[in-house]
Amino acid sequence: MFAKNMNQEEFQNMIKKPDYHFFVFSSPAIVPFNIALHTWVVVVYPHGEITRRELAHFKNIKEPKLAYLFKNSLEPWK
């Protein structure tokens, strides 16, 4: 699914019941040119927790042990 224009309501509508959900989203990367896709993974747990994980081209300064992995740096639908 192309998440470029997705909002929170559309994202919530994709979660049908309290169960595990695994989404893979992508959007055009903006740096340096629009020739690549930026992809991230969203996991919804049965108890309601939602996490977004993605890789970036720069290191995670807040959590150095994660290196290039980021957790919940943006809202899941952005």
Mean confidence (pLDDT) of the chain: 83
DSSP states of 15-78 as a string? Answer: --SSS-EEEEEEEE--SS-TTSEEEEEEEE-TTS-EEEEEE-SS--SSSGGGTTEEESSS-TT-
For the segment 33-62, what is each residue's pLDDT rounded down to a tens digit?
667 788 899 999 999 899 999 988 788 888
**Nearest 5°: phi and psi at 65?**
-65, -20
Task: Please report, for the chain, the start and end positions of each structural domain, with discontinuous segments joined by +.
Answer: 8-71
What pLDDT sits at residue 33?
A: 66
